[in-house]
Amino acid sequence: MQKLALHWKHAGTRTGLVPTMGCLHAGHLSLVQRARRVVGKNGAVVVSIYVNPTQFGPAEDFSKYPRDLKRDLKLCRGAGVDVVFAPTDREMYPALECGDMSPLSKRRHVGAVQHFSTYVVEEKLSQRMEGASRPAHFRGVTTVVAKLFHLVLPDVAVFGQKDFQQATIIQRMVADLNFPVKIVVAPTVRERDGLALSSRNQYLTGDLRRQATVLWCAIQMARVTAKKSKTFSALQLKAAVKKLVECEPDAKLDYVEFFEPETLAPVANVTRGTQMALAVFVGQTRLIDNARI
Ligand code: AMP
């Protein structure tokens, strides 16, 4: 991949990267379209497909995360992607060479990570929300994205607003560590009923799919509340969101936060322009969403 990327660089071909974990859906494909628009028809669009073990916690869904490379390749071909980069664990993390697919975070305890010991860690923006609920998650994300940037050498990389905190952290990493990559953040693609597209939506069987719309309902409720009263206490709104979410029999709020979109700093009062993010367990499935109020 790096050889090809260097070839493109020398030939003056603009390269756009869309990092994914595969099991592609229309949200991912919208990022591909965006990458194509930025690099032009003579540019190269690369989609990486890699379920990165270092961003999953030991109790998370790494091993059962949906994978369907054959279908993904077909979708990428149809979307005009030039190269799909789908490395193996062994290529990305030599420590996993014995074929054990368990997350590295689990294996750290047994001292298995002998051939991989360098991580990229963002220390401020990753403290709250996803970072608080999923320790070591963002360390895995920044590390794998840094590796992908070195492998693909993209001029531009496209991320989804769906993972708002992740996109903000990547932008910070790129600025802090002088990566010569332009980061584009593309809007969240939703189902008709507001549910944000996600590979994990496949887990939502039976009534869970209906219950999953509660994240979008919570966002709408916050918007309506803030509109009615111009400014509104974040604490009160958090309590109202919790109540709304937990009206659904299988839904449990993990967190809801109201914050400044650039700094991710929590706000005491919600007004127009405040960003909202929430994580909800619907059955066993953990879903996230966010929006500008
Ligand atoms: P994932 O495969 O879930 O790691 O996501 C890969 C990229 O696609 C990330 O930048 C996500 O933010 C983005 N993405 C995921 N779901 C959506 C969506 N519904 N709309 C737009 N982008 C998305």
Cα(198) to centroid(ligand 1), Å: 7
Among 24, 28, 165, 197, which residue has the most ligand 1 atoms within 8 Å of its CB, making it the best to mutate? 28
Cα(159) to centroid(ligand 1), Å: 7
- The C-alpha atoms of residue 199 and residue 201 are separated, in whole angstroms, by 5
Q: Which atom of ligand 1 is nearest to the CA of 18?
A: 7
The ranges of the chain with pLDDT < 70 are: 95-114
- The C-alpha atoms of residue 215 and residue 278 are separated, in whole angstroms, by 7
Q: What is the pLDDT of residues 6-51, one digit of tens each?
A: 999 999 999 999 999 999 999 999 999 999 999 999 999 999 999 9
Nearest residue CA, atom 5 of ligand 1?
20
Contact of 129 with 279, CB cutoff 8 Å: yes
Cα(27) to centroid(ligand 1), Å: 6
Q: Could you count the other beta carbons within 10 Å of the beta carbon of residue 123?
A: 10
Among 17, 34, 156, 163, which residue has the most ligand 1 atoms within 8 Å of its CB, making it the best to mutate? 163
What letter represents residue 165's amino acid?
Q
Burial 67-82 (b: 16+ CB within 10 A, else e): eeeeebbebbeebebb
Q: Which atom of ligand 1 is nearest to the CA of 197?
A: 19
Nearest CA-CA partner of 120 in 97, 94, 138: 138
Q: Rg for the chain (alpha carbons), in Å?
A: 19
Helix (H, G, I), strand (E, B) or coil at 251: strand
Nearest residue CA, atom 7 of ligand 1?
20
Contact of 248 with 266, CB cutoff 8 Å: no
Nearest CA-CA partner of 67 in 111, 91, 101: 101
**Ligand 1 interacting residues, C-beta cut-off 6 A:** 20-21, 27-28, 30-31, 159-160, 162-163, 186, 188-189, 196-199
Cα(199) to centroid(ligand 1), Å: 9
Cα(151) to centroid(ligand 1), Å: 20
Contact of 292 with 277, CB cutoff 8 Å: no
Q: Which atom of ligand 1 is nearest to the CA of 198?
A: 16
Q: CA 224 → CA 135, 192, 227, 277, distances in Å?
A: 33, 19, 5, 16
Amino acid 97: pLDDT: 45
Nearest residue CA, atom 11 of ligand 1?
160
28 carries an active-site annotation: yes
Cβ neighbours for 111, distance < 8 A, ≥ 6 positions apart:
none
Q: One of 28, 115, 137, 150 is an active-site residue; which one?
A: 28
Cβ neighbours for 55, distance < 8 A, ≥ 6 positions apart:
136, 137, 138, 139, 140, 141, 144
Amino acid 69: pLDDT: 98
- Quote the tokens at residue 30: 């919208």
Do the bridges between strand 269-270 and strand 44-49 make them parallel or antiparallel, or are there none, so unpaired? unpaired
Nearest residue CA, atom 19 of ligand 1?
197
Amino acid 114: pLDDT: 57
Amino acid 229: pLDDT: 84
Q: What is the pLDDT of residues 157-183, one digit of tens each?
A: 999 999 999 999 999 999 999 999 999
